Amino acid sequence: MEHLHFRQFPAGINAIVAISCYSGYNQEDSVIMNQSSIDRGFFRSLFFRSYRDEEKKMGTLVKEDFGRPDRASTMGMRHGSYEKLDDDGLAPPGTRVSGEDVIIGKTTPISQDEAQGQSSRYTRRDHSMSLRHSETGMVDQVLLTTNADGLRFVKVRVRSVRIPQIRDKFSSRHGQKGTVGMTYTQEDMPWTIEGVTPDIIVNPHAIPSRMTIGQLIERTWEKKEMRLLLQMSRKALHKCGYQMRGFERMYNGHTGRPLTAMIFLGPTYNQRLKHMVDNKIHSRGRGPVQILTRQPAEGRSRDGGLRFGEMERDCMIAHGAANFLKERLFDQSEAYRVHVCETCGLIAIANLKKNSFECRGWKNKTDIVQVHIPYACKQLFQELMSMAIAPRMLTKGLKSAKGRKPLTAMIFLGPTYYQRLKHMVDDKIHSRGRGPVQILTRQPAEGRSRDGGLRFGEMERDCMIAHGAANFLKERLFDQSDAYRVHVCESCGLIAIANLKKNSFECRGCKNKTDIVQVHIPYACKLLFQELMSMAIAPRMLTKDLKSAKGRNPTTSYVRNLSLTFNVSGSPFYIQYTFITCPNHVVLPSSYLSIPCLSNSTSSFYATTSYKRGSSMFPSRQIVKRLRVPAIDRERLLLEWHSPDCKSCEMDNLRCGFKNKASIKVKCFGDEPV
């Protein structure tokens, strides 16, 4: 990094990055970028391109020279502008240039043999170098020196400012690269309660697939501004007022409403890569073609055509776009006109200036038709004819060139040595109805040697989906593969424990033994669920309205978010209560105090003064909290006065009471106590 001067010229910037799905424009490897940040100079960079040229000797006397070409005496001048050149043929530093502007002027003397006829007034030929047609910029530096042969050598460097735009590529230092899929102004970006808007929004699905966990740790460390361990960073974030895992509550920039999920937000060092759309964008209407095949040249540097390959061709065939296919592959590529003899089908000789045509095989000069074929097809016919194979184009009934009878196909007959290879159908034929399965996944084994099943892959699956064969697809991928039966709790959605011999079922999550349903899933899906549960992730199968295993409430707001706090400092009387919740179908004794304001349609809320009584309830109960509640139980009230007491108050005809509402100290009052 020291040799590349990364400290003086860094390749990136610390950006505020959010991991979220937002508007759908950051799918796959794309990201959403803040257009307002870009307008403020976010990720602006300088792009340099050098153009070099040198003088060359063409013989003993002819030598190329740098200079500004003169249109009156120079032939072959380019379409670009020569106005940016000085007299020495070089564009000076600080000159703004655009596509096809000439930046290096160079000419060559014309030989005596060439300077004849119409070109007699020209004395030189243009060999100048122009800027690339898709680029603009400013001349940064010009270097003029000599090479080993004593001839002048020049290098011109052009500088351009590159502003981030859609399709430019960026990456974190942990390899999480992505292209810009959309840019939003600051008012359309999500924002936190502090008014912070992210510069970049990354898709959350990129983290588990790419496994770039380092950037998450970097974002957490930079957010708390100290390099501590991850466990200590949580405490530091929480101490500074942040969420312990670095999440933020954000609001939708389009609607202003809070987002349903917490967003992981923080600074991350992102780099701008060299893959920019300005260097890759390319289109053309007309341009150079290959000399041999007359097809458009290949590559952006040669101003070539866009490749229309086999997959594009098959796609157009599937859509039935015959005219468009003919236009792309024939009319706009290598259309060629030939003249064919109607009698024998061979290509005839044509002289269009004299309007004369002749077939050398049939000696025909009248029955000649014009046919349009690809130029590569014409070359193929000529190559086959050089091998004594005469391809014929059928325009109507063909006749033989020798007997002048209707032409029939000639059969090429002769002895040839043939070998039998080891690839025989008896060694490859394979089918099975039932057979061995893999121990882990219970899917059919692979391979003919293991008597395995026939592979039904992704292409076959997509084909069946395209044909709408849903039942056949289910039969192949599920019924005949790894169908498995599980029993699911209808209340919480977890897989229950089943004893089919005793016909007993139980859900360990909510202790349910009755509301159990049978579900058929792939055995691999069951393995996935078990693996997720080993990672403390509980996947649930929704069979009807899903309830929580704790409290059976979809939100469990009153169970998880309940914070019962009482101010017991103002009274000396309190009772230790145990707050519990249980399903509505459970009948409790009358000694349990019902709390209707915390109950709902599926579960009830109770309070009891005995911990043992609360803990010995039915298995479906759940203890929510134990609190000291200010109350008076007249049956078990035991009141003891400590110093100071109110004995002197009664003797003096005064009233005894608390000093204030927030104290348990007493005093004597002449009137009603405060």
- Respond yes or no: is residue 303 known to be catalytic: no
Strand partners, 52: 155
d(CA 280, CA 619): 67
Tracing tokens 């077939």 back to the chain, one arrives at 359
Catalytic residue (one of 29, 65, 278, 367): 29
Cα 281–Cα 287–Cα 290 angle in degrees, nearest 5: 110
Yes or no: say if 623 and 582 are a contact pair by the CB < 8 Å rule: no
Give the CA distances from residue 354 to residues 227, 350, 370, in Å, rounded to whole numbers and listed in that order.
88, 9, 16
> What is the C-alpha separation between 480 and 437, in angstroms, rounded?
11
Contacts of 65 (CB under 8 A, 6+ apart): 55, 89, 106, 107, 108
Q: What is the DSSP pairing of strand 65-66 with strand 106-109?
A: antiparallel
**Between helices 230-239 and 213-224, what is the axis angle to 10°?**
40
**Gap between the Cα atoms of 583 and 551, Å rounded:** 7
- The CA distance from 300 to 290, in Å, is 14
The C-alpha atoms of residue 604 and residue 562 are separated, in whole angstroms, by 14
Q: Are strands 30-34 and 177-184 parallel, antiparallel or unpaired?
A: parallel
Distances (CA, A) of 107 to 103, 128, 151: 13, 7, 14
Pairing of strands 250-251, 349-351: unpaired
Residue 505 burial by Cβ neighbours in a 10 Å radius (0-12, 13-18, 19+): buried
For residue 527 the two structure tokens come to 């393995």
Return d(Cα 344, Cα 347) in angstroms, integer: 9
Distance in angstroms (rounded) separating the CA atoms of residues 115 and 622:
105
Asked if residues 278 and 135 have their Cβ atoms less than 8 Å apart, the reply is yes
The DSSP annotation for 524-572 comes to: HHHHHHHHHHHTT------SSS---TTTS-SS-HHHHS-------TT-S
Strand partners, 274: none
Which residues lie below 8 Å from residue 189, measured CB to CB, with a gap of 6+? 32, 34, 36, 197, 198, 201, 253
Please identify every residue annotated as catalytic.
29
